[in-house]
Amino acid sequence: MTLPTPSATGPATPWGTRRPWGTVVGGVVVAVLGVVALLVPSVLAALERDPAAIADGQWWRPLTAMLVQAWWLQYAFNLAGLLLVGWAVERRWGTGRWLVAAVGGGLVAALVLTVAVPDLVDSGTSDAVGALIGFLVVRSWREHVSPPFVPAVYAVFWLPYVLLTGLGVGYAVAGPVASMVVAVVTAEARRTGGHRPRTATLVLAVVTAVVLSALLDGHGIGLAAGLLAGALLPPVRRDDVPRPEAG
């Protein structure tokens, strides 16, 4: 993915013109409900993904588990990703595709884990965020466009970070390594401004999805679902694609 940089050679191309209502509503729900769940453990216990409870008829848990987090750092990191990457996806490609990526991808990961790992109880928005990142990476590569800088940085950081932590590398190592990846991609984008950073990010996303999915890690399953959605869904109508502003 190419990280956009300021240009003095011409007018900027608007990233998108659609109103990101899904991101706004989803962000508010995750923000408020996440705080409540962290302060009231019984709320977290009632909403988290519990395969035994699902088997007893509490079918809604795969969905509600995406709305709550188990600890504060997870809350902050996932909420930031939902807002930043969700805004970028929905602003350009619309609420329908945002729903497919965020809700659909998150649910796919939750359902796969419910069946494959029946003793795993968990919660968090990260699988949905991963699906949004997968969608953003593929569609940006397909359309030869550079996402807004901050969402792109988050996505490029997220990929090596979750790959390393999923492989058992500690946070103290994964964080700096992911930051170095961001620095390298940013430098390459500034130097070439072309296709290579987007392609490198796509390759990293595919590798991360394959490795973590094989480990039954929800991050990888959600990411894979987002990559597939971005690859298979048809493009938006030509009239809906932002065009360069008149200079």
Name 116's Cβ contacts closer than 8 Å, sequence gap at least 6: 216
Question: What is the average per-residue pLDDT within 76-93?
Answer: 98
What's the CA gap between 83 and 225, in Å, rounded? 19
Structure confidence at residue 3 (pLDDT): 58
**Residue 173 resides in a domain:** yes
In three-state secondary structure terms, 76 is helix
The angle at the Cα of 44, spanning 168 to 116, to the nearest 5 degrees, equals 50
Structure token pair of residue 123: 């919660």
Structure confidence at residue 42 (pLDDT): 97
Q: Which domain holds residue 42?
A: 21-235
Span 210-223, pLDDT tens digits: 999 999 999 999 99
Number of domains forming the structure of the chain: 1
Task: Fill in the DSSP letter of residue 60.
Answer: T
What's the CA gap between 3 and 233, in Å, rounded? 24
**Residue 70 resides in a domain:** yes
**Residue 116 resides in a domain:** yes
Span 221-238, pLDDT tens digits: 999 999 999 999 998 875
**Residue 102 resides in a domain:** yes
Structure token pair of residue 222: 């959600």
**Residue 65 resides in a domain:** yes
Q: Is the model's pLDDT at 8 over the cut of 50?
A: no
Structure token pair of residue 142: 């397909």
Structure confidence at residue 244 (pLDDT): 37
Helix (H) or strand (E) run with residue 192 in it: helix 171-192
Average pLDDT of the chain to the nearest whole number = 92
Structure confidence at residue 194 (pLDDT): 65
What is the longest distance spanned by two Cα atoms in the chain?
A: 62
Give the global pTM. Answer: 0.91
What's the CA gap between 156 and 136, in Å, rounded? 11
Report the CATH number that the domain containing residue 136 is assigned in CATH. 1.20.1540.10
Q: Is the model's pLDDT at 154 over the cut of 60?
A: yes
**Residue 5 resides in a domain:** no
What's the CA gap between 57 and 74, in Å, rounded? 28
Span 171-215, pLDDT tens digits: 999 999 999 999 999 999 888 876 889 999 999 999 999 999 999
**Residue 180 resides in a domain:** yes
Contact 103, 128 (CB under 8 A): yes
